[in-house]
């Protein structure tokens, strides 16, 4: 096998990896200050690192409108979700300082335009619902009424939640190239990895060079399993059950939007920027409650020509251990039904773990279960 160079990896979305890091301006104190929400801060950091290439800042009206309507940027490039900064009032100057919720300045935005937007329309188009009980819609409705668009420059990066797992797109690309990988599959997750996820990541890995396990560690709903517990679970799983030289575990710093189908596209494009040629899309990707059909996040890929995304989605069914097949399988590969299939609901798993009991080894690896049991105890 020849040594892969970085140029053999998939190109970033739009062709070039964006870098919006830069120097702190000397007259920073003279600018209006905008405090960003956790979601906006996560977006800002991803703009800085190129994870949102080709975006160089928060969206202006033309990009925003076409993304909401057609899942394309103004120039026609595929893009699934708004990346916008909401403000109470139009800033006074042509530059604003961007701060976290405690007032620490991280970057600046060169104001190109300030525009009104229709929250219900954005909700309906992007979340497929205007129901304020949907966590993504609720957050949208709470935002101020104007968007400010313009290029950003970030001089102070966010503290990564897991420094040992922090890798910008340039760093994952360099690592993949160093390992000689060309075809890399990305796996998005915000849950502990049970046998079913292990199975589909391994099925995918059988056909490519490497696997990026890329857990989302940005803001999630408070009832999702805490990121620290999940990270520990991924570590014990990889240590015990994956070949070290075929897998990278790294943190994906995005905040969850719970936009289901559109978020699946958005996740795939981001992973392309990290160097993934393939992306796993299971059932119910990035969904919440019963707002989306089980296959909606797979079907939405049909709204793009294959060359538009470039990154190849890999679709998977729910999988399970089948006692008759005596192996992991899915409805696609196993003819048996009912009791032969070891399946536990999320609630059943939580009840077992809460009582300090290991779920069946066919469902969860014991090392992973142990991590989860300890988390439930504390
Ligand atoms: Zn079977």
pLDDT of residue 10: 97
Contact between 38 and 76 (Cβ < 8 Å): no
Tell me which of 191, 246, 283, 350 is the catalytic residue: 191
Distance between Cα 343 and ligand 1 center (Å): 13
Instruction: Report the C-alpha gap between 57 and 153 in whole angstroms.
Output: 8
Distance between Cα 264 and ligand 1 center (Å): 29
Distance between Cα 339 and ligand 1 center (Å): 10
Distance between Cα 363 and ligand 1 center (Å): 15
Residue 310's beta-bridge partner residues? none
Distance between Cα 306 and ligand 1 center (Å): 33
Distance between Cα 101 and ligand 1 center (Å): 52
Residue 188's beta-bridge partner residues? 214
Distance between Cα 312 and ligand 1 center (Å): 28
pLDDT of residue 340: 93
Who contacts 335 (Cβ-Cβ below 8 Å, separation ≥6)? none
Tell me which of 20, 66, 173, 190 is the catalytic residue: 190
User: Is 179 noted as a catalytic residue in this protein?
Assistant: no
* Alpha-carbon separation of residue 238 from 234, 243, 279, 375 (angstroms): 6, 8, 19, 19
pLDDT tens for each residue of 190-220:
888 889 999 999 999 999 999 999 998 876 6
Contact between 257 and 81 (Cβ < 8 Å): yes
Q: Indicate the Cα dihedral angle 205, 210, 212, 213, nearest 10°.
A: 40
* Look-up of token digits 């290029």: 151
Mean pLDDT by 10 residues, the chain (378 residues): 64 97 94 95 97 98 98 98 97 94 95 98 97 96 98 94 94 96 94 90 98 85 77 94 96 92 97 98 86 93 94 95 96 92 86 90 94 86
Global pTM reads 0.94
User: Is 191 noted as a catalytic residue in this protein?
Assistant: yes
Distance between Cα 318 and ligand 1 center (Å): 13
pLDDT of residue 3: 47
């Amino acid at each position: 096998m020849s040594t892969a160079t970085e140029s053999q990896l998939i190109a970033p979305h739009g062709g070039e990896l964006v870098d919006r890091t830069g120097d702190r301006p000397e007259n920073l104190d003279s600018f209006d200050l905008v405090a960003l929400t956790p979601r906006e801060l996560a977006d800002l950091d991803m703009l800085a690192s190129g994870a949102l290439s080709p975006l160089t800042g928060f969206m202006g009206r033309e990009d925003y409108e076409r993304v909401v309507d057609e899942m394309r940027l103004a120039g026609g490039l595929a893009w699934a979700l708004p990346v916008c900064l909401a403000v109470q009032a139009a800033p006074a100057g042509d530059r604003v300082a961007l701060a976290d919720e405690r007032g620490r300045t991280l970057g600046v935005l060169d104001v190109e335009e300030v525009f009104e937007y229709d929250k219900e329309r954005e909700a309906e188009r992007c979340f497929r619902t205007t129901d304020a009980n949907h966590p993504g819609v609720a957050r949208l409705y709470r935002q101020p009424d104007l968007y400010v668009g313009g290029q950003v420059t970030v001089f102070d990066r966010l503290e990564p939640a897991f420094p040992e797992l922090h890798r910008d797109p340039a760093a994952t690309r360099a690592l993949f190239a160093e390992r000689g990988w060309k075809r890399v599959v990305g796996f998005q997750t915000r849950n502990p990895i049970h046998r079913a996820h292990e199975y589909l990541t391994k099925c995918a890995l059988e056909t490519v060079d490497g696997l990026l396990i890329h857990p989302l560690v940005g803001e999630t709903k408070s009832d999702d399993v805490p990121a620290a517990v999940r990270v520990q679970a991924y570590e014990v799983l990889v240590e015990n059950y994956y070949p070290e030289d075929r897998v990278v575990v790294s943190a994906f710093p995005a905040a969850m939007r719970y936009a289901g189908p559109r978020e699946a596209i958005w996740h795939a494009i981001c992973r392309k920027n990290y160097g993934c040629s393939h992306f796993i899309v299971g059932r119910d990707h990035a969904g919440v409650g019963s707002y989306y059909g089980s296959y909606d996040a797979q079907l939405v890929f049909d709204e793009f020509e294959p060359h538009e995304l470039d990154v190849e989605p890999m679709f998977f069914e729910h999988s399970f251990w089948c006692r008759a097949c005596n192996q992991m399988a899915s409805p696609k590969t196993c003819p048996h039904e009912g009791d032969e299939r070891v399946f536990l609901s999320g609630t059943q798993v939580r009840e077992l773990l809460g009582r300090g009991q290991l779920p069946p080894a066919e469902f969860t690896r014991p090392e992973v279960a142990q991590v989860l049991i300890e988390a439930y105890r504390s």
